[in-house]
């Protein structure tokens, strides 16, 4: 991909899942590996917020990870297509992002960390994926289409920007806007402040205590997911836990949004946002209306939890 193409793309590019599904699956597993390094070396933060990645101006990042008196950071760069490992003592290592198996990516990443003197042991199976293959043995998933990896990051970049604006309207407890590598989605979660009933668990290859701690309190959560499985297109989503009575029948905006009974959440196809005259307004309307449906039906104290947006100064 040329520099000109990289630096002057459409803000909301096309992202048909069928065109890059192999790359999407491989990249999901690569981000799991990097995320598990952060998980293994970080103190536990409520709701598993210590495991996530963050959108950057070039890709996704772990942010700094403790390593004794040092810190290190791992960054996916989807502009120059490389993985950068940086250490606070000045050392760096770079791996090219090219078509390679998960097993090869795993071996190269662990080799680089060992070279840098970073001791890390991760759980060797993917999470939240049916029939997982150990990372060290997975030679099935090996695709990397640089064009679509770049497009995906550009979508995450726009979604992150709008999610940040939505997050700013809330003064109650709220998560960062962050990327969960287990479920492969960018998310932001608002909390009512009240405890929730114990979650039943049952997420594939995710310990039930982790799920129950993540949903220990009432939430309204929204995010972006690139698609896969029963939902074969990229989409924005919004759900509540516990879902109040009537949530799935609530009227939300825009009209193209619908409640997916199997997933238990509202979905808005990405293409509806991408092709809108004002994508930001359409996405914000979806986020706000689905939140209001959850909060009103569950009786959240919205006057205590919300504020008017504060413009930049």
Q: Give residue 182's pLDDT.
A: 96
Q: Give residue 229's pLDDT.
A: 81
The C-alpha atoms of residue 134 and residue 218 are separated, in whole angstroms, by 34
The C-alpha atoms of residue 310 and residue 313 are separated, in whole angstroms, by 9
Q: Give residue 10's pLDDT.
A: 85
The pLDDT-based confidence of 295 (bands split at 50, 70, 90) is very high
The answer to whether 203 and 214 have CB atoms below 8 angstroms apart is no
Residue 166 above 70 pLDDT? Answer: yes
Domain-wise residue ranges, the chain? 13-137, 146-305
The pLDDT-based confidence of 9 (bands split at 50, 70, 90) is low
Averaged pLDDT, 25-43: 97
Residue 6 above 50 pLDDT? Answer: no
Averaged pLDDT, 96-109: 98
Token couple for 192:
């009512």
Averaged pLDDT, 148-175: 98
Q: What is the pLDDT of residues 172-215, one digit of tens each?
A: 999 999 999 999 999 999 999 999 999 999 999 999 999 999 99
The C-alpha atoms of residue 254 and residue 238 are separated, in whole angstroms, by 13
Strand partners, 96: 82
Residues near 135 by beta carbon (within 8 Å), at least 6 away in sequence: 29, 32, 33, 102, 103, 106, 124, 125, 126
The C-alpha atoms of residue 226 and residue 212 are separated, in whole angstroms, by 25
Q: Which of 211, 302, 228 is nearest to 263 (CA)?
A: 228
Q: Give residue 311's pLDDT.
A: 77
Averaged pLDDT, 89-110: 98
Strand partners, 267: 237, 258
pTM, two decimal places: 0.95
The pLDDT-based confidence of 7 (bands split at 50, 70, 90) is very low
The pLDDT-based confidence of 230 (bands split at 50, 70, 90) is confident
- Percent of residues, the chain, with pLDDT higher than 70: 97
Residue 5 above 90 pLDDT? Answer: no
- Percent of residues, the chain, with pLDDT higher than 90: 92
Q: What is the pLDDT of residues 103-136, one digit of tens each?
A: 999 999 999 999 999 999 999 999 999 999 999 9
Residues near 168 by beta carbon (within 8 Å), at least 6 away in sequence: 309, 310
Residue 312 above 90 pLDDT? Answer: no
CA atoms within 13 A on the CB side of 104: 14
Q: Whole-number mean pLDDT of the chain?
A: 95
- Can you say whether the dihedral through the CA atoms of 51, 101, 144, 26 is positive or negative? negative
Q: Give residue 310's pLDDT.
A: 80
Residue 84 above 70 pLDDT? Answer: yes
Token couple for 226:
């690139």
């Amino acid at each position: 991909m040329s520099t000109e193409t990289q630096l002057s793309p459409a803000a909301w590019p096309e992202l048909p899942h069928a065109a890059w599904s192999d790359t999407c699956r491989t990249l999901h597993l690569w981000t799991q590996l990097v995320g598990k390094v952060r998980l293994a070396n970080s103190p536990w933060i409520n709701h598993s917020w210590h495991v996530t990645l963050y959108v950057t101006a070039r890709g996704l990042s772990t942010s700094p990870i403790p390593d004794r008196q040092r810190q290190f950071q791992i960054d996916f760069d989807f502009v120059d297509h490389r993985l950068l490992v940086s250490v606070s003592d000045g050392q760096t290592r770079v791996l090219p992002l090219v078509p390679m198996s998960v097993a090869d990516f795993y071996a190269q990443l662990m080799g680089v960390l060992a070279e840098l003197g970073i001791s890390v042991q991760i759980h060797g199976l993917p999470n939240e994926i049916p029939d997982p293959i150990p990372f060290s043995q997975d030679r099935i998933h090996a695709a990397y289409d640089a064009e679509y990896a770049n497009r995906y990051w550009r979508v995450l970049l726009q979604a992150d920007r709008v999610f940040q604006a939505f997050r700013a309207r809330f003064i109650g407890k709220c998560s960062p806007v962050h990327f969960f590598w287990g479920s492969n989605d960018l998310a932001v979660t608002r909390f009512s402040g009240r405890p929730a009933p114990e979650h039943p668990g049952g997420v594939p290859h995710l310990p039930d205590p982790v799920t129950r701690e993540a949903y220990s309190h009432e939430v309204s959560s929204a995010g972006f997911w690139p698609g896969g499985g029963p939902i074969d297109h990229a989409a924005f989503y919004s759900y509540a836990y516990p879902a109040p009575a009537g949530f799935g029948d609530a009227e939300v905006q825009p009209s193209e949004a619908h409640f997916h009974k199997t997933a238990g959440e509202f979905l808005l196809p990405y293409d509806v946002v991408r092709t809108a005259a004002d994508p930001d307004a359409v996405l914000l309307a979806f986020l706000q209306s689905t939140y209001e449906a959850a909060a009103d039906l569950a009786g959240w104290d919205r006057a205590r939890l919300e504020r008017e947006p504060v413009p930049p100064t």
